[in-house]
A and B are shown apart, each in its own frame.
Chain A
Amino acid sequence: MMANDGDRNRHQLSPEETRRRVNAGLRRRYRSEQLFRFYGICSVSLGVVFLLVLFGTIIGNGYSAFQQSFVRLDIHFDAELVDPDGARDPEVLSAADYSLLVKSALREIVPEAGSRAERRELNGLVSAGAVFELRETVMADARILGQTRSMWLPLASEMDLWIKARSAGESGEDVGGRISANQRAWLERLQADDRIELQFNKAFFSNGDSREPELAGVWGATKGSFFMLLVTLLLSFPLGVAAAIYLEEFARRSWWVDVVEVNINNLAAVPSIVFGLLGLAVFINFFGLPRSAPLVGGLVLTLMTLPVVIIASRAAIKAVPPSVREAALGIGASQMQMVFHHVLPLALPGMLTGAIIGMARALGESAPLLMIGMVAFIVDVPSGPMSPSTALPVQIYLWADSPERAFVERTSAAIMVLLAFLLVMNATAVWLRSRFERRW
């Protein structure tokens, strides 16, 4: 009754009175609107600032990892040292001590390093991985024995950090006490002779893990993540979509459906380490699958993403207007034809969005992988979903925990690779969605 009285009073106001009242409140209304917009801009720009700071530090720390210093050495492939019998037996060639070749090449350039300690310092200039490169060269073509060839070999990581600091215009004092005065002098001389060059760090993109920072790469971890996500996508998307369609379109409402629904929603909130424990108990201990395999990782992550996919897919199906269903049924389509010919194509973009959110979460997950043995040092790049491997977030964690100084920049570089991986994945999803998108 009171409201009605109020309404009647308002209707009885004269036009002048109305204008006066509106004008009186106008400024306040404009102000509050402006204030609201201001708050919005503030929160957006705060977010952007945080993002810029985050990206700034990651890129600032990590961009230098994409380059690596190399030294040009004239390696004499001494047949006497590598293959004393001259039989060119692959076994002998593989077992030979190639570090001797590097050492003698270094001694030619720096002949004054006489004492044992000085020679140790001298040999420390070049990466321990140079040996692998020489072995590969000889194994690929044994005719090189007896010849001298000028080769670019990676410098050890401490030297690399110093060279980079110097080329960035710093004194290089802050790279630590790991590099001696002698080594500094020699590096300067090598630089003056144009024997040192910063090159693109190919090893970072083609190698697996290594304890020598200059040899460590993300390719092994990237491939591991790829196999894992492939398994996750192939299992969680079809299963999740099928479950969502059944629950939305076919299942009759009953207490049983309610129980399933509540459990799916609960599963989406379970901490991921629990799925890792489950994976350890079921896939490894019961089914006897190998530890550290991306297949097991993919299975565990499937369990984790499945609820997300189901929930998103159900929401997408619900958003399809009922008129579409009624029209299809009205012209004689069966329930299944209605779902597969009309509802599913319309709901697919929303389902893809859900799947991609789930996959993005799975990509960044490392806790459940600890339980199934994927937090491991693995040098060999995995060849398939059954071979041992790690994943990108695990690789980042392992490097962040390494004492060697050069891993700091590589950790940031690996984060950039992870972000790029994520970006490619999301871009694919956006492209797929725009292809399937239908408007009505």
Chain B
Amino acid sequence: MKQAPKALILLVSGALAATLPVAAWSQSARSYISIVGSSTVYPFATVVAEQFGGTGKFKTPKVESTGSGGGIKLFCSGVGVQYPDIANSSRAIKPAELKDCAAHGVKDVVEVKIGYDGIVLAESVAAPGLNPGLREIYLALAKQVPDPAGKQVLVANPYKTWKDVNPKLPATVIEVLGPPPTSGTRDAFVELAMEGGCKSFPWIKAIKDQDEARFKQVCHTIREDGRFIEAGENDNLIVQKLKANPRAVGIFGYSFLDENTDSVKGSAIDGVAPTFENIASGKYPVSRPLFFYAKKAHIGSIPGLKEYLQEFTSQKAMGEEGYLADRGLVPLPAAEYKAVAGQVKQLLTMPIPR
């Protein structure tokens, strides 16, 4: 019976040994690039990271999927090896965030616009095809809509089928699967599609100048009576649900449509189909730019950071025929691409707002 305490002592000493490296690790150099941020940019950043690491000169960067806001917050918390070098974002950095950055000593942020992402309304290939306009999307999905009788008051959304919204649309029940409020895709959808449709009512647009908060509440609030179904952050899940239910409409990023063209098709919005060309040319109304932000102060102390920026902005990655385009990123127009590549070469930093 004597082994028991011995085994215990062994375990305790093992535990102590395991905690020893804690003391050894402090402020030592980091040999890989640390990237945080948006889950929308994640599929593109990881491809670049893998290509970059594959050449064998530098270690493969570590890419975390934290969401745009969370990533920028981490990025802005300071300069030094324990802080990330790059933050991916599916929206432009806000002035308040830049100020926060500067307050923590991060004063030299390089902004890189990498391309566009289209947000698509998609349905099963078996469905008849729903091609709404922005105004119809707003009317079908908002919590409160203008009175159908024509008076300038808001009423709770009475529409049950797309045909109720506009007699030209099919008589299918409104059933839309979309991302939850925590998602950047949802933010962009609300800002571009819902607000776009909302503004087509002049009297609602007039509210914006008087009462911005009221305007946002009217235009950005999605109905909660079960016609809009929050399907989680997983876009693959939405695709599968659409396959099973031809009446439903799903909202997700263009890259998922591109990968699943055999089972789902994109709806044209205001007559513009969500194709690669239409998003690139800016004709498709629901598209947003994607960015990443790099810390200039880390160039030199983190091996490969400058080379990573060059790899990302190279023609073979971000260009019109680049490998990111193969993954569903809609590339920048040639002139804009040139400007971005030039800025990265010079490592032009952003001005700090006052």
Contact = CB atoms under 8 A, between A and B. Distances in A.
A376 B65 contact: yes
B261 A211 contact: no
B50 to A, nearest CB: 5
Contact of A95 (B18, B55, B82, B263): B55
A6 B21 CA distance: 76
A135 B233 contact: no
A398 interface: yes
B234 A94 contact: no
A364 interface: no
Contacts of A242: 12
Interface residues of A, number: 57
Contacts of B234: 400-401
Given A174-B262, A177-B261, A237-B11, A295 B22 contact: yes
B64 interface: yes
B15 A234 contact: yes
A329 interface: no
B59 interface: yes
Given A211-B50, A403-B43, A235 B22 contact: no
A135 B14 CA distance: 41
Interface string B320-344: 0000000110000000000000000
Chain B interface extent, by class: 35 or more
A291 B2 contact: no
Interface in A180-235: 210-212, 230-231, 234-235
A288 B26 contact: yes
B157 interface: no
Contacts of A291: 34, 64, 82
A404 to B, nearest CB: 6
Contacts of A94: 55-57
B159 interface: no
B215 interface: no
Interface string B5-43: 100100110110011011001110010101010010011
B62 interface: yes
Interface stretch (B126-134, B222-230, B252-260, B287-295): B252-260
A105 B12 CA distance: 59
Contacts of A131: 54
Interface in B40-63: 42-43, 45-47, 49-50, 53-57, 59-60, 62-63
B236 interface: yes
A238 B12 contact: yes
A375 B65 contact: yes
B12 A375 contact: no
Contacts of B82: 284, 288, 290-291
Contacts of A231: 18
Contact of B14 (A178, A234, A284, A408): A234
Contact of B262 (A177, A211, A238, A377): A177
Contacts of B149: none
A379 interface: yes
Interface string A283-323: 01001111110010010000000000000000000000000
A284 B258 CA distance: 39
B1 interface: yes
Nearest to B253: A403
Interface in A366-408: 370, 373, 375-380, 385-386, 388, 398, 400-405, 408
A400 B236 contact: yes
Given A94-B57, A177-B262, A292 B26 contact: no
Nearest to B59: A380
B100 interface: no
B21 A379 contact: no
Interface in A104-138: 131-132, 135
Contacts of B213: none
Interface string B256-276: 101111110000000000000
A40 interface: no
A241 interface: yes
A238 B11 contact: yes
A288 B24 CA distance: 11
A116 B64 CA distance: 36
A379 B60 contact: yes
Contact of A290 (B15, B25, B259, B262): B25
Given A95-B55, A135-B56, A211 B4 contact: no
Interface string A337-356: 00011101100100000000
Contacts of A386: 21, 25
A239 interface: yes
A60 interface: no
B235 interface: yes
Contacts of A385: 18, 21
Contact of B1 (A295, A342, A402): A342
Given A288-B82, A340-B4, A403-B236, A235 B261 contact: no
A422 interface: no
A267 interface: no
Contacts of B53: 379-380
A111 to B, nearest CB: 23
Nearest to B80: A288
A43 B62 CA distance: 47
Interface in B56-98: 56-57, 59-60, 62-66, 82
Interface of B: 1-2, 4-5, 8, 11-12, 14-15, 18-19, 21-22, 25-27, 30, 32, 34, 36, 39, 42-43, 45-47, 49-50, 53-57, 59-60, 62-66, 82, 233-236, 255-256, 258-263, 327-328
25 contacts: A131-B54, A176-B260, A235-B15, A238-B8, A238-B15, A284-B82, A287-B22, A288-B26, A295-B22, A340-B4, A341-B2, A348-B4, A373-B66, A375-B64, A376-B64, A379-B53, A380-B32, A380-B59, A386-B21, A398-B65, A400-B234, A401-B233, A402-B236, A403-B43, A403-B327
A-B complex: 8 closest residue pairs judged by Cβ atoms: A379-B60, A377-B63, A177-B261, A376-B64, A176-B262, A377-B46, A234-B15, A238-B11
Given A211-B327, A290-B25, A291-B82, 10 more contacts: A174-B263, A212-B50, A235-B18, A235-B19, A238-B15, A288-B25, A341-B2, A385-B18, A400-B236, A403-B43
